[in-house]
Amino acid sequence: MIIKNAKVFLDGKFQNIDVRYDTSGITEIGENLFNDEIMDAHGACLYAGMVDAHCHGGFLRGFNYSTSFEKQGTHEEQVRDLLKRLPSTGVTTVYPTLAIIYPPRKDMYEDMRESVLTIRKVHKDYEGAEPLKFHFEHPFPTLDRYLVPGLLPATRELADRITDNDYSDVGIFGIAPDYENAMEFMDYLVSKGVEPEDGYTKATAEQTKMAADHGMTQASHLFNGYQPMHHRTSGPSEGVLLEDRIKAQLTLDGYHVNPAWVRLTLKVKGIENCYGITDLSGYSGLPEGRNIMDDGSVVITHDGYNWREDGHLKSGNMVANEIMRAAKEKVGLSMEEIGLLFFENPAKCLNLSDRGKIEVGRRSDLVLMDENYNVIRTIIQGEVYYEADNN
């Protein structure tokens, strides 16, 4: 198959070239390709499928099992349905992101381990976006408001328990750099081929640099879950800004991070050291108004965000392509910047070489969108998986 008449996003810019692919991957890129079946893009934008490294769920379904969505089916059914739905938003690869759920259903770490086992089972036989690697977001925080009852110390044994003694599909594992034994714990993660992640922390910039010396390479949604910056205090956010070895996730919906802070980050850290995420939660996709969950909890949804009744922000309510639209309209990013942050930089910052860029030899995971980030067609491993109703 050859895609023609597309604005192909490649190496940070849109190019008028053709892309040939089959089920084995992208096989040729160039001008005036022929001798194959043609897909006419009619001027739409063609991107590599998005790799979303920070996604908790969506559509009233979660990667963590939660009683909030128990009427949506078993946890396995929820995970399967979620993976089927993500390609409609432009996501073709996802890192199932598991966090501490409080209060827990049984035991917070056992709940996490059981979610791991369910997702591994689904990964053997799934449809839709691939659940490539696990992201354990914040099992070991130091920021005061995340210190819930029942947290256990960071030990090798507890990490082994959470992962069920298997690190082969663990991508990112969070620990605050100012945690008592953070450096030793990160050394253990690195020995298992896992990328340690910053976040939920009061660490100094100096502690953040030391963490990078011990292999910390990722920063969970920068500024959210970090002690606020103060001009007389050395803190974690400026530590991440100064340390290029740590790649910064950015939430770009226009609210979680003020547009001015986004601009400052891109200017200081460099766009090549940042990538976009959804931080999609199971609550994403709720209708406007007062929503009562299956467990009786209440979520107030308005203007693209979900709130607790006490006024605390609970999560965003936008899916991936809607966040891209907000990045353009609310944050003021250019389409080239959005293309880098959401489509090319995730794979680069996560050291993935088999997907996440339109390049010969990579997976034929592709997304056609209009200039307002409406998904027209999503292709996964050379097969059309999703197509908008109006096509």
pLDDT digits (tens, 9 = 90+) for 308-364: 999 888 888 999 999 999 999 999 999 999 999 999 999 999 999 999 999 999 999
What's the pLDDT at 106?
81
pLDDT digits (tens, 9 = 90+) for 169-224: 999 999 999 999 999 999 999 999 999 999 999 999 999 999 999 999 999 999 99
Name the band, by pLDDT with cuts 50, 70 and 90, for residue 268.
Answer: very high
What's the pLDDT at 10?
98
pLDDT digits (tens, 9 = 90+) for 78-101: 999 999 999 999 999 999 999 988
Q: Which residues contact 161 (CB under 8 A, 6 or more apart)?
A: 109, 113
User: Which domains does the chain carry?
Assistant: 2-46+365-387 (2.30.40.10), 50-349 (3.20.20.140)
Pairing type for strands 313-316 and 57-58 reads unpaired
Q: Which residues contact 64 (CB under 8 A, 6 or more apart)?
A: 56, 57, 98, 99, 101, 111, 112, 115, 282
**Is a pLDDT exceeding 80 seen at residue 67?**
no
What's the pLDDT at 332?
98
**DSSP 8-state secondary structure symbol assigned to residue 161:** H
What's the pLDDT at 391?
59
Name the one residue in this structure whose structure tokens are 């925080």.
Answer: 141
Name the band, by pLDDT with cuts 50, 70 and 90, for residue 102.
Answer: confident
Name the one residue in this structure whose structure tokens are 């090798």.
Answer: 156
